[in-house]
Amino acid sequence: MQFDHANKKVSTMMSFLPEQLIDLDRYPIHDLQSEAGQALIKRCRQELEGMNSCVLRGFIKKEVEEQLVAEARQLAEQAFYYEKFGLNCYRTQDDPRFPKDHPRRLFYDVKEGVVAYDLFSVDSMLRRVYQWKPLADFLAQAFDKPALYPFDDPFQALNIMVISENEEEVGMGWHFDENEYTITLMMQPPEQGGEFEFVPNIRTPWDENYRAVQKVLQGDREGILQEAPEFGMLALFRGGYSLHRVAPVKGKISRLQCIATFEKEPGQKASDQSSINIYGPRIREVLQAGKKSLT
Ligand SMILES: O=C(O)CCC(=O)C(=O)O
Ligand SMILES: [Fe+2]
């Protein structure tokens, strides 16, 4: 809170409701039955069907960039940084039955920051957007699901991912996702780099296409699509069959992005142990302070 001497009153940081933050003229997610709403759903489904990816630029209005980025930055100060060593794009262990240069045996390390959901304040604008029912209803329609619900997990529901410049130039290395779909909202793009790069449908349920995967991992750029990061862009993505990564970030400004989890059933939670693994020892203390038994 700040004392505004000119107006002699106490003012808090400007806050907005979801309907003021989302560009509903362009993306009428509150009125999906309308012609424009139906056209939006059709577009999302077509893009997801064709490329497993649908990017809605300007989903959050440019006018509120300053306020939202300020919130994201404040949260990012509390990020927990984890390092992971020896990851391959399948997130599997080394398997000496494959030759040394096989994609299953090409490993890299990552260092990323992550902000757990319990650190978002009760009046956080990002939290309010995440919990806004029309958003979940829109995402369900876009992904062609009967319904989707915000994850009921106190830590894993909505996160901020922090990716900064690092010497190894890894970014978030090439991988396939284990979850069915990923929903991200870009807050702060870096000065350079940090593009979302993907090769749509490089593998199928019938064919791992190891040769093509190997070529990408070895630096071949053929077939790679790029989405340049921009404030307010909402990305819907199915990463199980499209090899993807965040290109290395360059410069002093970190890439800050929200990552939102939605589930097919209400009331879903993750295990406490998985949250401790992701967000570190602070979670153990939070849980013990709440005198909850660990699951
Ligand atoms: O940060 C991104 O744009 C992609 C994130 C991603 O691939 C993931 O979380 O699995
Ligand atoms: Fe991913």
Q: Classify burial at 208, counting beta carbons within 10 Å of its beta carbon; exposed 0-12, middle 13-18, buried 19 or more.
A: middle
Residues with CB under 6 A from ligand 1: 161, 172, 177, 182, 184, 196, 239, 244, 246, 257, 259
* pTM listed for this prediction: 0.93
Cβ contact 237:181 at 8 Å: yes
Domain layout of the chain by residue ranges: 15-289
What are the tens digits of pLDDT across the range 248-291?
999 999 999 999 999 999 999 999 999 999 999 999 999 999 86
The residue to mutate among 196, 227, 230, 278, having the most atoms of ligand 1 within 8 angstroms of its beta carbon, is 196
Q: Which atom of ligand 1 is nearest to the CA of 244?
A: 7
Residue 273 backbone dihedrals phi, psi, to 5 degrees: -60, -40
Mean pLDDT of the chain: 92
Count of C-beta atoms within a 10 Å radius of residue 183 = 20
Q: What is the CATH architecture of 15-289?
A: Sandwich (2.60)
Banded model confidence at residue 10, pLDDT cuts 50, 70, 90:
very low
Banded model confidence at residue 151, pLDDT cuts 50, 70, 90:
very high
What are the tens digits of pLDDT across the range 68-97?
999 999 999 999 998 888 999 999 999 999
